[in-house]
């Protein structure tokens, strides 16, 4: 620590004229970018877009209003536009030497220097972390990140008096507010804390304030229990999985990379990009693996489904990573889809590669992968099972990770399924219209906690119409799923198994998934979900399907005259009951169409069960929720086994009006054995027989098993075997 303090004392004693710019990019770096603009089309385009936007404001009196509006309102959007405008104008000043751009930044900063000292908590603040310029402190931290870089970019053009006014008036009140008034929030290990550390740290680098930089790195107490390094330690697993989920690594990766880049410029000996075994490299790779083939991040926890890897945050991370970690082919694929770059060394380098590369692959190199969760990798995890490739890729997501902090959902052992770029079995994501003022001021809607985060909104078992952990975040944060076994080595047979014994008192949940590709190319998901208890319960297993109903193999009663909510709380109150069926000892099959592909859920019904068709929208007079369907299998008992086969089949061509293989191939499902030791399922697919046998208590890879059934003996080694017409499936 003493050595680090000495180095920073040395850095910030260097004459300021020789240092700046240094936060976003160095003077030498920007001179190189300037020379490259005309040579590379994407770099030229990115420069031209920024110049067009900024030029429209040159010579104009730009408003810096007194804050009053929530997200999406005029003052919110104006201040957000101002910090982007200042940053871009600062860049243009360095790339063109046109003093008008520096003047624009200066004039805006001087206005903020008058505004900020007089601000109190924002009038629309609704949380324990209110902002001053914006309704929440997170947005104020965003303002510091961009405005700090803007100031650094024009600092050499300012007089000493102007610098003093800006540093004391525009920056000091904001930094003091975040680090003193909101000390506990600033020190929080959370995406908000990442932005706060980056904002204060970048302002510290821009202003030569060592105290700011130390607080950013080590927390307000400068003891290392908080701050940027603690964020790197606490938010990522050793594999690079970000505990709040893929949507939030998308958001947090910009301040992680931007501040790391600034630190790398002023203190390369800190080796921030190599910190924790290059955790930022792993974070970016993990984040990209958690996207669909259309680039959209999988909606785990609170998530807006529209966000994809062309977002500004990923442009920044990809361009910086390209420069500091090496020129990986997958990054070039993403950069081509982004079609814009940062105006720094990494952006120029990737623009050159885009210009000179002739065979850039159309899809990111997705693969089957599993990530542990928790700082030590011991808090469960999340798995992505994939089969096929490119446009035909199928991805099965299985979550058994930790809760995900304040953005977590109560969805232990939940799944989602993506095929050919479409969501097939979906997660609702979050209930929010971000920055649309009419919808709750752009904040999370009440239905986010009321429905979207509740267990029934996910594809996992709900016990007694209650959410896991009674929907209490403080309880859920203490537990995570436990992986029992996984196998990704055989492309035709991929398997993952996990359990959760704390979500419901006295109930053990155990789910095993098999993603299979049969010899003729057919894809199946075999889903074995065991519930165990000493007392009887109601178990609901919903499938949030995305598509048009084609056919059900059973008779059901539709609520065509009048519909009622399915329940009164825990998310059930938002579900209209559209139809129901009472079944006994049968194979229930439900087929739906998504775009041009058919999907069938084949469910083994032993004894009795209910099938319930629902749709969101009950008790929602403001139409805050999307109207989406689900298919619920309801069983009652102490120990129940749900056996479901999800089949991908056929094709519908709406242009030529041809439909092929629209009926499922699964003909029969038989549960041969289900107890504490083994689960054995036989599935008849046309003329073929698929048998899955798994051990439920010994998951060692070298354990030999021999199981005697009525007409056969099955022998295998390891936790499971998959046989197709009597032979191991390969």
DSSP-assigned letters across all residues of 349-399: HHHHHHHH-S---SS-----EEEE-STTS-SEEEEEEEES-GGG-EEEEEE
On whether residue 360 sits in a domain, the answer given is no
Which residue in 93, 101, 212, 248 is the catalytic one?
A: 248
Nearest-Å Rg of the Cα atoms of the chain is 28
397: closest CA among 385, 388, 381, 379? 385
User: Hey, is 408 helix, strand or coil?
Assistant: coil
83: closest CA among 158, 30, 146? 146
Q: Do the Cβ atoms of 642 and 675 come closer than 8 Å? A: no
On whether residue 275 sits in a domain, the answer given is no
pLDDT for position 3: 34
CATH code of the domain containing 437: 2.70.98.70
On whether residue 417 sits in a domain, the answer given is yes
| Cα–Cα distances in angstroms (integers) from residue 713 to residues 493, 516, 680, 726, in the given order | 21, 23, 12, 11
Cβ count within 10 A of residue 702? 6
∠691-697-701 over CA atoms, to 5°? 70
Domains in the chain, number? 1
| Cα–Cα distances in angstroms (integers) from residue 683 to residues 92, 155, 524, in the given order | 65, 71, 11
How many alpha carbons fall within 13 Å on the CB side of residue 235? 31
On whether residue 54 sits in a domain, the answer given is no
Spatial separation of the C-alpha atoms in residues 680 and 669, rounded to whole Å? 11
189: closest CA among 443, 425, 404, 396? 404
Q: Is 627 left (phi over 0), alpha (psi -120 to 50) or beta?
A: beta
Spatial separation of the C-alpha atoms in residues 296 and 299, rounded to whole Å? 9
Where do we find the tokens 């600033």? 186
pLDDT for position 442: 87
140: closest CA among 51, 543, 148, 322? 148
pLDDT for position 541: 98
Where do we find the tokens 């081509």? 336
Which residue in 122, 407, 480, 537 is the catalytic one?
A: 407
pLDDT for position 711: 80
Name the token pair of 284: 């970016």
On whether residue 415 sits in a domain, the answer given is yes
H or E stretch at 33: helix 27-36
For the chain, list residues with pLDDT below 70.
1-18
Residues 6+ apart with CB under 8 A from 347: 33, 43, 46, 319, 341
246: closest CA among 301, 317, 312? 301
* pLDDT, tens only, 14-49: 333 347 999 999 999 999 999 999 999 999 999 999
Check if 705 is active-site: no
23: closest CA among 91, 93, 109, 115? 91
Spatial separation of the C-alpha atoms in residues 126 and 162, rounded to whole Å? 35
On whether residue 594 sits in a domain, the answer given is yes
| DSSP one-letter code for 298 | P
Share of the chain above pLDDT 70, in %: 98
Q: Do the Cβ atoms of 618 and 666 come closer than 8 Å? A: no
On whether residue 654 sits in a domain, the answer given is yes
**Residue 422 phi, psi dihedral angles, 5° rounding:** -100, 150
Residues 6+ apart with CB under 8 A from 568: none
User: Hey, is 678 helix, strand or coil?
Assistant: strand
Q: Where are the alpha helices (DSSP H) in 116-227?
A: 137-154, 160-166, 172-176, 183-186, 191-207, 210-218
Where do we find the tokens 């979900």? 529
Spatial separation of the C-alpha atoms in residues 411 and 476, rounded to whole Å? 10
Spatial separation of the C-alpha atoms in residues 184 and 193, rounded to whole Å? 10
Structural domain boundaries, residue 399: 380-665
pLDDT for position 46: 98
630: closest CA among 554, 561, 541, 558? 541
pLDDT for position 13: 39
Residues 6+ apart with CB under 8 A from 127: 136
On whether residue 204 sits in a domain, the answer given is no
The per-residue b/e assignment along 492-528, b for 16 or more CB within 10 angstroms, e otherwise, is ebbbbbbbbebbbeebebbbbbbbbbeeeebbbbbbb
Where do we find the tokens 């792993």? 282
* pLDDT, tens only, 607-629: 999 999 999 999 999 999 999 99
Cβ count within 10 A of residue 336? 16
Spatial separation of the C-alpha atoms in residues 683 and 722, rounded to whole Å? 11
Check if 192 is active-site: no
| Cα–Cα distances in angstroms (integers) from residue 356 to residues 332, 337, 350, 351, 553, in the given order | 11, 16, 10, 9, 56
Q: Do the Cβ atoms of 641 and 461 come closer than 8 Å? A: no
Spatial separation of the C-alpha atoms in residues 329 and 338, rounded to whole Å? 14
Q: Do the Cβ atoms of 287 and 446 come closer than 8 Å? A: no
pLDDT for position 79: 98
Spatial separation of the C-alpha atoms in residues 475 and 467, rounded to whole Å? 12
């Amino acid at each position: 620590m003493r050595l680090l303090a000495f180095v920073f004392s040395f850095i910030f004693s260097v004459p300021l004229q020789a240092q700046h710019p240094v936060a976003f990019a160095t003077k030498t770096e920007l001179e190189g970018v300037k020379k490259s603009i005309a040579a590379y089309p994407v770099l030229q385009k990115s420069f031209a877009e920024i110049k067009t936007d900024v030029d429209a404001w040159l010579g104009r009196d730009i408003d810096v209003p007194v804050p009053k509006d929530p997200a999406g309102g005029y003052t919110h959007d104006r201040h957000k536009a101002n910090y982007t405008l200042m940053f871009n104008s600062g860049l243009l000043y360095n790339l063109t030497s046109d003093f008008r751009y520096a003047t624009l930044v200066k004039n805006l900063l001087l206005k903020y220097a008058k505004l900020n000292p007089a601000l109190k908590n924002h009038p629309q603040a609704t949380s324990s972390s209110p902002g001053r310029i914006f309704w929440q402190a997170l947005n104020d931290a965003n303002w510091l990140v961009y405005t700090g870089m803007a100031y650094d970019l024009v600092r050499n053009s300012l007089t000493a008096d102007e610098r003093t006014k800006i540093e004391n008036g525009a920056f000091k009140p904001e930094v003091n507010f975040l680090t003193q008034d909101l000390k506990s929030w600033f020190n929080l290990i959370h995406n908000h804390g990442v932005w706060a550390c980056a904002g204060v740290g970048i302002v510290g680098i821009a202003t030569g304030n060592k105290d700011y930089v130390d607080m950013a790195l080590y927390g307000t107490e400068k003891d290392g229990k908080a701050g940027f390094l603690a964020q790197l330690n606490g938010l990522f697993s050793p594999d690079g999985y970000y505990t709040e989920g893929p949507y939030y690594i998308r958001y947090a990766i910009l301040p992680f990379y931007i501040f790391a880049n600034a630190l790398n410029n002023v203190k390369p000996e800190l080796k921030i990009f190599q910190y924790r075994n290059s955790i930022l490299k792993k974070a970016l790779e993990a984040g990209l693996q958690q996207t669909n083939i259309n680039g959209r991040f999988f909606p785990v926890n609170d998530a807006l489904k529209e966000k994809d890897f062309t977002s500004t945050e990923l442009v920044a991370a990809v361009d910086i990573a390209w420069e500091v970690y090496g020129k990986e082919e997958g990054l070039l694929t993403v950069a081509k889809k982004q079609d814009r770059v940062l105006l720094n060394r990494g952006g120029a380098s990737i623009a050159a590669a885009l210009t000179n590369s002739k065979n850039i692959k159309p899809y990111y190199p997705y693969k089957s992968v599993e990530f542990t969760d928790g700082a030590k990798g011991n808090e469960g995890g999340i798995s992505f099972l994939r089969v096929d490739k490119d446009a035909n890729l199928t991805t099965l997501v299985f979550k058994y990770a930790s809760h995900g902090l304040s953005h977590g959902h109560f969805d232990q052992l939940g799944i989602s399924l993506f095929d050919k770029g479409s969501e097939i079995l979906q997660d609702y994501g979050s209930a929010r219209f971000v920055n649309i003022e009419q919808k709750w001021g752009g904040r999370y809607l009440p239905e986010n906690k009321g429905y979207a985060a509740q267990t029934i909104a996910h594809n996992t078992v709900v016990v007694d119409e209650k959410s896991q952990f009674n929907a209490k975040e403080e309880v859920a944060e203490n537990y995570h799923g436990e992986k029992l076994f996984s196998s990704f080595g055989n492309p035709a047979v991929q398997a993952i198994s996990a359990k959760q014994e704390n979500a419901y008192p006295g109930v053990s949940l155990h789910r095993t998934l098999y993603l299979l590709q049969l010899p003729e190319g057919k894809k199946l998901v075999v889903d074995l979900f065991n519930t165990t208890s000493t007392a009887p319960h109601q178990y609901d297993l919903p499938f949030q399907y995305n598509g048009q109903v084609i056919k059900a193999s059973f008779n059901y009663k539709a609520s065509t005259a009048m519909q009622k909510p399915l329940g009164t709380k825990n998310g059930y109150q938002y579900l209209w009951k559209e139809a129901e069926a009472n079944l006994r000892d049968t194979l229930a099959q439900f087929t739906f169409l998504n775009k041009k592909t058919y999907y069938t859920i084949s469910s083994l019904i032993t004894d009795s069960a209910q099938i319930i068709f629902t749709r969101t929208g009950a008790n929602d007079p403001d139409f805050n929720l999307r109207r989406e369907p689900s298919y619920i299998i309801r069983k009652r008992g102490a120990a129940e086994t749900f056996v479901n086969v999800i089949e991908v089949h056929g094709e519908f061509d709406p242009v030529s009006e041809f439909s092929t293989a629209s009926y499922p191939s699964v003909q029969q499902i038989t549960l041969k054995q289900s107890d504490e030791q083994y689960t054995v399922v036989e599935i008849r697919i046309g003329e073929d027989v698929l048998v899955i046998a798994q051990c439920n208590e010994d998951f060692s890879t070298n354990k030999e098993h021999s199981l005697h059934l009525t007409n056969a003996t099955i022998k295998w080694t390891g936790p499971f075997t998959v046989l197709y017409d009597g032979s191991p499936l390969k």
